[in-house]
Structures are given as structure tokens and as C-alpha cells.
Chains A and B, each alone.
Chain A
Amino acid sequence: MNRRIKVALIGNPNTGKSSVFNLLTGLQQKTGNYPGITVEKKEGYCRLTKGVSATIFDLPGTYSLNASSLDENLVIELLMNRKHADFPELAVIVADIENIKRNLLLFTQIKDLGIPSILVVNMSDRMIRKGISLDVEKMEEELNTKIVLTSTLKKEGIQTLKNEIANYSQLEHSPCLDFRSIDPDYFASLQKTFPKQSIYKLWLVITQDVNFANIDRNTIQSTDGDHTRSVSFLKRLQQRETIKRYQFINEVLKKCLQINREQATDFQSRLDRVLTHRFWGYVIFFVVLFTIFQAIYDWSSYPMDAIDSAFVSMSEWAKTNLPSWFVPKLIAEGVIPGLGGVAIFIPQIAILFVFISILEETGYMSRVVFLMDRVLRRFGLSGKSVVPLISGTACAIPAIMATRNIENWKERLITILVTPFTTCSARLPVYLILIALVIPDTRFLGANMQGLVLMGLYLLGFGMALAAAYVLQLVLKLPHKTAFVVEMPNYRIPILRNIGITVYNKTKSFVLEAGKIILAISVLLWVLASNGPSSSFGQAEAIFGADQELTQAELEQKISAYKLEKSYLGQVGKFIEPAIAPLGYDWKIGIAIVSSFAAREVFVGTLATIYNVGTDEEDTIKNRMADEVHPDGKPVFTLASGMSLMIFYAFAMQCMSTLAIVRKETNSWKWPTIQLAVMTLVAYLAAFATFQVL
């Protein structure tokens, strides 16, 4: 007999849910999205005992069933809807022993829903140092539940938890709160109107903006409008409910929890006095940021070089060893370079994710939110926009997903709209090759000139994001009500295993997502570059073949250059040349811009393809670009045209995946369309100005 139990891990943020999840499931995890929304869905497989296993869901952190963010909405919808495919048979509520009182609030709510629940009290390793003692048996009795004490740091209690999950059918589920004690008249009459429904579910439907299978807000409203009275009235009842819940929790804890408060002024608060200091706090933050960026460049250059040359030699090998008909040629000249274009980003993205997850795991990120809130609010953003803006330097997609916990819709929308201005790693290869080409490798005030230009481009990205936010704040007319409440979790030493798993999962999904698009584009490009309207495309041999003065090599070169120009791709480039000539670009760059419209990292790959088609020698792409000349003999890549290109890439919205995610997160086509139009326009004008001035 094989049984699979569906188990949901629920708990406040930072209580150790993901750590418990990682220990239960190891690497047998799947991450994806819940359909229609971009809340990350994590599920894993766990073998409990002989013949019994479990599917574990790591739900997003929730303070309470009264939702104040998209993540929390998801948890409620899941728990309220028995027909949901992932509806859990068992809820495992993870609490942190140091914040047990607050954590129990959610526990009482879930218990009132009537879902079988186990309470995990995590971080037991900290009890001795904090002078905490807990009478587990007494508490099990008081809460009428099973309790498992765990420490994921020391890997303790996990086996016990597995056993308890396997035995979940023996759990009792009695509610914690008697609703009539909150407002006897209101709740008695509510129950009378809907005798068959659970009173807590009714109450949640009335107060929350969630959909719930059997009954919805409208039904309640039309049956008995009195129960959905004024918002103020409902909010006062919610406050009373919270008070009642805390009374219950305090009664329980009085009987089984003891805290010896001797080490009150401890290390934590001393650390906070420095890290959130009104002067030193900022200094430390900028040092941290600076270190991160340095590390990203220093550490990633070796693996990036290695990946680059690996793909180059793979492509070379394929070219010489594979038969030369359509499919193998496509693989050698289209697919392998295209994949290389994605793989090259892996080191940088992984390193950035390592840092971001360290900042989050240690609890430092919340301090940065505190420090930056006021400054960013000037620009219509929130302190919580810091995370997206920093993550945006890796990739805008996870960054935009990280805006979910900004409660205020206006601040969230502005963050979503401006995040693509930050210099994501896809822009980097474009910058690197152009800088190497047009910026002299000299020293300026003792610093490397090329490095300075790169840093300037990063600052430009942030500056533009802020400027755009400022304008949006003035333009957007949206109701604005603050709900900014940020918990400052205790500082913790991060658990290495957690960081490893996070980085692995995030990098993997980035590579898969971006990989699909880049692969498709590079194949398309290659096909367009190798074919053309037969009337002119097919004439190459005939035109040059007659010329006896050419050597064999020169002949081949002439033919392929001519073919490129007459190919479909070349036609596209020629077509848009008049529009981009004022920016200093020729038709070949035009092709690269068009092809990188869907993903900017394609730019270098396209140039590589184009110039590769033109010659046979093995030469670096940089040298080939330097040799490029206009028909009048002037070089194509000069300071002016190079800078203009970089500015164009800094501002343009060339990323299909980002547009797709913006459409999902804003639930409309309007915002991604505006974003695309405005950013492209800004990029065009700025590039034009740059070229004309330089």
C-alpha cells in the first residue's frame, strides 16, 4: 500500500519553513508558479515511513490569515478551497521559539479553519542561550495538538516530525476561539443565516478579498447585507478578534513557557545600533554594495572566460566534424553559440543570488529597507523597492517578482515599471565589448578608464530608474494608503545548505527561461541570415565567379559578404538603416538591434554570427568589429557611435521575458506596452543626443 499525504508548511516569514522543507525533501524539489500569478510555488517529495510518503508544499511566509499581500492571499485561497488540487490534508505550522507568541496567532487561525495541524517549534538550539524553557506536553494538551521541537541548524527533530506527519489522522481538530465572545449578536446572527457554514470561514470571506468555492462575499451581501456593514466596523471586530486570540495564547503560554530575561541587552540590539545608525548604517550599506559588485566581477571573470572558450571550441569542433547539411550546420552555427550566450551569464547570476540570499538569510535586508524607505519614498518608491533594484542588476525577472511584498499598489507599480532600467547582466556583454572597442585602456586619476565607464553605466541605470520613478509618481494618480510594516528579524548566521539550494533553484530557472528564448532567436537568425530572396541571393557565385583576379579566399569572402547583405536578415537591416543612421549605426548593427529586441544578450551573438558569416579566419570578434568600415572607409565603431550604442542599450526595453512578467504582475497589457514604448523612445533620443554631441 502506497500513500501520499499532502502537507503544507505554513508559518510567519523567517521561522525556518524553507529550512525544514529543505531537510524534509533534500534536492527532490520542484519550483514553479501558481497558475496565473507569479507567486513562487515550491513542492517537494519526502519519504516518511515504510509505504507512506508526502508531497510537501513550502508556502510563502504569512503573518496571519488576514492577507495584506499577494503571497498571503495565495495561502488563504489554498486553505479555504477544498477543491484546490493542492489542498493540504495536513498543515504543519512552523514557529520560532523566540517569537512563539506572535507565531501562535497564525496557528490558532489555521486550527479554527478545521484543518488537521501539527505545530513545529523551530530554532530549539537557541533556547539555552536565551534562557527559554518550554513544557511541550503541557502545551500539546492546552492547544490540543501535536508539537515537534526542531532545530534545522542541528538537524534535530526531523525524524520525529516525519513520524507525526505519517500519523496525522489521529490529530484532533477543535477550534481555539469562540467567535461569539467577540460580538455575540453579530456572530450569532451570521451563524443563523448560514447554519451549514463554519463561522470562521464566513468571517474570512467577509473580511478578505479572496475567492472561496462554496460561498462568496456577494452571496453573503445579498442574503443579509447587514453582515458586510462598514469597513470601519469590520476592522474594529478584527481588532477584537486579535485581542481575543492573544488572550487565549497568553493563557496557554503562562502555563508552559518560561523565559529568563537576564541577557536582555544582547548582541542583537548592539548590532542594530550600528547597522541602522543614521550615518554609519548608510556607510556600511554602501560598503556592502560595493563589495558585492566587486566580487561579482572579480570572481566571475574566470568561469566566464572558461565557458566562453568552451563554447567556441565546441562550435569549431562541430563546424569541422559534422556533415554540412542543414541540421548539423544549424547546430554548429546557430544553436551552440546561442546556448553559449546564456551559459556565460551563469557565474554572475549565481554569485549575485548568493549575495542576495545571504543578505536575506542574515536578516540584514530588512535593515536596508528601514534605512532606504524615506529616501526612496521621495521618488515614489518604497524601502522595499531596494530588493528589486539590487536584484535587477542580475536580471529584471526575479527582481520584478520580488516586488510582491510591497503592500502599496502605487509604490509597487512604480517599482515594476522602473526596475528594467537597472543594469541587468544581459547588458554586460554588450557594454564589455563596446568598452573594449572604443574606450582607451588608460588611467584616469589612477583608476582604469574602462572600469570607470562601466561603473558610470551602472550608476546611469540606477539614476534613470530613480528619475523615471520620480516622474511616474507625479503622473500616476492612484489612491495611496500606507500599510508599511516591516519585521526586523533577529540576525542569524545563514545556513549554507539553504543558500546552496536557493541559488541552485533560482539559477536553474533563469537559465531555462532565458535559454528557451535565446535558443529560438538564434535559430531564427541563422535561418534568416543563410537564406534570401532567390533572385538576388542566388546570384553571388555568378557575379563574382567571373572575376579572375580574385584568389580563392577573397572570392569566398566576397561571396559570403554579398550573401549576407542580400539575405532576409540583411534586407531587414537595410530597411531600418535610415532610422538608425542618425544614431551612428550601419545596417549590420541594425540587424543586431532588431534581433536583440527580444533579448538584449543576443546582440553580441548576432554580431558574432554576422561577422562570422563574412570571414573564415579564426579571429576574435573584437578585432573584426574594429576592422569594420563604412563604405567611405571610416571605421564603424568610434567613440561617438560606441557610446551612443551603449546609451541605447542602457535605456531600451529589449527583453521579451520582462514584458511577459510585467504583464503577469500588473495583470494588464497596458503597462508593458507603455513601458516598451517609453523606454524605446527614451533610448532612441538619448542615443541620438550622445552621437550628435560626441
Chain B
Amino acid sequence: MTLAQLKKGEKAVVEDLNTDFVPLKLIEMGCLPGNTIELLQLAPFKDPLFLNVNGAQVAIRRETAEHIQVKIVAA
């Protein structure tokens, strides 16, 4: 599944991402395979997503999240 399918409050581990679509800046913030991401908040229309990426809090758009493969982990 992709990060875009995560529900509010869920945590997931990054499995893979497409570097053609995911900005390097996000990767440098710690969005890397093996790291944990938590979905903290969603704006109306579920876009953008407010995430905790490996300890850093960032907002990204849904279209970016669709290119990040994740696996849900128990909270």
C-alpha cells in the first residue's frame, strides 16, 4: 500500500519510494526505507498530509504520498 492510503493516527514503515517523484528534500528529512512514518493530521479533502517522518514533522501533498510504498505497523 502507499502512504496516501494511511489513516489518521496510523504508523507505517517505508518500504520503497520512487525517487523520480519524491522530492529529495523529503528523503533528506528521513523518509527512507526502514524508517517509520506516522500520519498525524489530514487537511480537508485528505490533502495535504501532516506526517511525523522519523522524528521530523512535515506536510506533503497527496500526489507525493502516492509514490511512497509503506507497510503498516502496530501502533
Contact = CB atoms under 8 A, between A and B. Distances in A.
A485 B23 contact: yes
Interface of B: 19-20, 23-30, 32-33, 40-45, 47-48, 50, 54-61, 63-64
A62 to B, nearest CB: 10
Interface residues of A, number: 40
A670 interface: no
A369 B56 CA distance: 17
Interface of A: 63-64, 66, 68, 99, 101-102, 105, 231-232, 235-236, 238-239, 242-243, 246, 269, 272-273, 276-278, 366, 369-371, 373-374, 383, 407, 482-490
Contacts of B23: 68, 407, 483-485
Given A370-B59, A383-B59, 18 more contacts: A63-B28, A64-B24, A64-B28, A68-B24, A102-B30, A102-B55, A232-B19, A236-B19, A238-B24, A242-B27, A246-B30, A276-B50, A370-B48, A484-B60, A485-B23, A485-B64, A487-B58, A488-B59
10 contacts: A66-B25, A102-B29, A102-B55, A235-B24, A239-B32, A370-B48, A370-B50, A370-B59, A374-B43, A482-B61
A488 B57 CA distance: 5
A272 B55 contact: no
A373 B64 contact: no
Contacts of A373: 43, 47-48, 59, 61
A63 B56 CA distance: 12
A484 B61 contact: yes
Contacts of A486: 48, 58-60
Contacts of B30: 101-102, 246
A543 to B, nearest CB: 71
Contacts of A231: 20
A239 B43 contact: no
A484 B44 CA distance: 17
B25 A485 contact: yes
10 nearest interchain CB pairs? A488-B57, A235-B19, A483-B23, A370-B59, A486-B59, A485-B25, A484-B61, A485-B26, A276-B41, A64-B28
A63 B25 contact: yes
B64 A370 contact: no
B10 to A, nearest CB: 15
Contact of A63 (B29, B32, B44): B29
Chain B interface, DSSP helix/strand/loop, else mixed: mixed
B40 to A, nearest CB: 7
A278 B43 contact: yes
Contacts of A484: 23, 48, 59-61, 64
A371 B25 contact: no
B67 to A, nearest CB: 10
A238 B25 CA distance: 11
A487 B48 contact: no
B72 to A, nearest CB: 20
B47 to A, nearest CB: 5
Q: Which of B24, B30, B55 has the most CB of A within 10 A?
A: B24
A99 B52 CA distance: 12
Contact of A487 (B29, B43, B45): B29
Contacts of B58: 485-488
Given A483-B25, A485-B23, A272 B40 contact: yes
A232 B25 CA distance: 16
A588 B45 CA distance: 53
A233 B41 CA distance: 34
A487 B56 contact: yes
Contacts of A101: 30, 54-55
Given A63-B28, A102-B30, A238-B19, A482 B43 contact: no
Nearest to A363: B57
Contact of B20 (A232, A243, A487, A490): A232
A616 to B, nearest CB: 62
Contacts of A482: 61, 63-64
A485 B23 CA distance: 8
Contact of B44 (A235, A269, A374, A483): A374
B55 A243 contact: no
A383 B43 CA distance: 12
Nearest to B46: A374
Contacts of A369: 59
Contacts of B59: 366, 369-370, 373, 383, 484-486, 488
A373 to B, nearest CB: 5
A366 B55 CA distance: 17
Nearest to A378: B45
Contact of A485 (B19, B29, B33, B40): B29
A483 B63 CA distance: 10
A68 B24 CA distance: 8
Nearest to A486: B59
Contacts of A246: 30, 32
Nearest to B19: A235
A488 B32 contact: no
Nearest to B28: A64
A404 to B, nearest CB: 15
Nearest to B58: A487
B56 A99 contact: yes
Contacts of B42: 278
B32 A371 contact: no
